[in-house]
Amino acid sequence: MVAQTFVVYPQMGLPFTVTAFCVVVLGGMGYVPGTLFGGVILGVFESLATTYLTAGLSLVLTFLLLLVMLILRPGGVFGKGALE
């Protein structure tokens, strides 16, 4: 789906895969409502980071959010992920 908008090259799916991984981990693996909420949180966070900071720093802040979330709540946003 992305190939219709962007240039096609072998690693074109990597940024989207990394973002999808962060969304699933934030929401809690195996818990769909948490994953949807994690996607909203990450989308707003990346949008604010891109608006007020540089766009290149957005991915770094995404990983920092993921790291903080894994330290504080390893089961996901609602705590109903696969770990609990």
Q: How confident is the model at residue 5 (pLDDT cuts 50, 70, 90)?
A: confident
Domain membership flag for residue 64: yes
Q: In sequence order, which residues have a C-beta less than 8 Å from that of residue 51 and are 6 or more positions away?
A: none
What pTM does this model have? 0.75
Q: How far apart are CA 50 and CA 59, in angstroms?
A: 9
Domain extent for 55? 37-74
Is residue 52 in a domain?
yes
Instruction: Please check whether residue 5 lies inside any domain of the structure.
Output: no
Give mean pLDDT, residues 16-38. Answer: 86
Provide the domain count of the chain: 1
Q: What is the mean pLDDT of residues 30-55?
A: 87
Q: Which pLDDT belongs to residue 82?
A: 58
pLDDT at 40: 92
Question: Tens digit of pLDDT for each residue in 67-84?
Answer: 988 888 887 777 765 554
Q: What does the buried/exposed string (b/e) look like for 44-83 if buried means 16 or more CB atoms within 10 Å of the residue's CB?
A: ebbeebeeeeeeeebbeebeebbeebeeebebbbeeebee
